[in-house]
Amino acid sequence: MESTYFDNYNTVETRWDIESHIHVYLKTTRKLDIRSENFFDIGQYHGNYRSCRSARNVINYLLKGNDIISNFLDGMISQANLNAVQRVFMCNSFNEALEVVRSDYNLGRDYLRSSVGYEQNLRHIFCTNVWRPTVKPLFRLRCLPELVGWNPNKRALWLYGPDNTGKTTFALSLFNNPLLIMDPDKLKELAPEHDGIVFDNMYLGDYRVQVVENLLDMQFHTPVRIRYQNVIISDGLPRVFTSNKPIFP
């Protein structure tokens, strides 16, 4: 086997028993044009070669006995030994956590039963800094104690105060990919990848009562009429309003 083709010899499990055999997991970041069925042979030994659907499951299997030869970093091996739930909380983003859920049998089965609820819960964990504050030091913001009990999926948040006090910056820091609304037409750009809406310098006295009720309705999918077009806001999508004067007349 030509070793120069591979970027990583990630994991080797050596488990010799009555029927001596060896499990090998190899990874390459480049696509290989392999034409010989003996390409992966070790000496005179010809193995059972196949691609894997879930690299994570294969790695976990190889590592379970701790009898390995590997070029994994120690931290990577430690993380691979975690169970699926622990790996979810080790993730740094919603998409990364969702991939862990989908690749695990038990979590994936539960995800199929209630995918909407699963995704809402993951967004709640990974897309709001109220629960896991990671505000950039440049902003010099702090997590307000008044927000400890705020559930962003059930209640809208109103940030009220004078100009130039950081309301909008703080609101944006609560999400990974918020939609900033400074003009009503901007709401038409709402997309599934947005994990929150920030209504900047908002005064709801200019809107009809039904529109205001729909903007604040966190329980149901609500259509909001914006200049001859209905915009659907999904239930539980976090909403933050900022203003320097009372938001209602």
CATH code of the domain covering residue 184: 3.40.50
Distances (CA, A) of 194 to 3, 50, 94: 44, 38, 12
pLDDT at 70: 63
Percentage, residues of the chain above pLDDT 90: 2
pLDDT at 180: 92
Same domain, 10 and 36: yes
Which residue, 126, 153, 188, sits at the end of a domain? Answer: 126
For residue 67, is pLDDT > 90?
Answer: no
pLDDT at 213: 81
The 3-state DSSP class for residue 233 equals strand
Q: What tokens appear for 48 in the block? A: 């059972």
φ/ψ bin of 227: left (φ > 0), alpha (ψ from -120 to 50), beta (otherwise)? left
- Beta strand 8-15 with 21-27 is antiparallel
Burial of 193 from C-beta contacts in 10 A (0-12 / 13-18 / 19+): exposed
For residue 111, is pLDDT > 70?
Answer: yes
Which residue, 100, 126, 152, sits at the end of a domain? Answer: 126
Same domain, 152 and 234: yes
Same domain, 141 and 235: yes
Same domain, 197 and 146: yes
pLDDT at 81: 56
pLDDT at 131: 40
pLDDT at 12: 47
pLDDT at 25: 76
Q: Is residue 182 part of a domain?
A: yes
Same domain, 77 and 94: no
Same domain, 182 and 218: yes
Which residue, 81, 100, 116, sits at the end of a domain? Answer: 81
Continuous H helices in 81-134: 84-90, 94-103, 105-113, 115-126
Q: Please count the structural domains in the chain.
A: 3
φ/ψ bin of 3: left (φ > 0), alpha (ψ from -120 to 50), beta (otherwise)? alpha
Same domain, 48 and 94: no
Confidence of residue 215 (pLDDT cuts 50, 70, 90): confident
- Please state the pTM of the whole predicted model: 0.43
For residue 247, is pLDDT > 50?
Answer: yes
Q: Is residue 10 part of a domain?
A: yes
In 28-154, DSSP assigns E strands to 68-69
Q: Is residue 106 part of a domain?
A: yes
Range of the domain at 57: 3-81
Same domain, 198 and 224: yes
Average pLDDT over residues 11-36: 66
Same domain, 220 and 153: yes
Tell me the chain's radius of gyration from C-alpha atoms: 25
pLDDT at 198: 93
Q: Is residue 249 part of a domain?
A: no
Same domain, 157 and 235: yes
Q: Is residue 131 part of a domain?
A: no
Same domain, 157 and 218: yes
pLDDT in tens, 152-162: 888 888 888 88
Of 214, 216, 192, 197, nearest to 116 (Cα)?
192
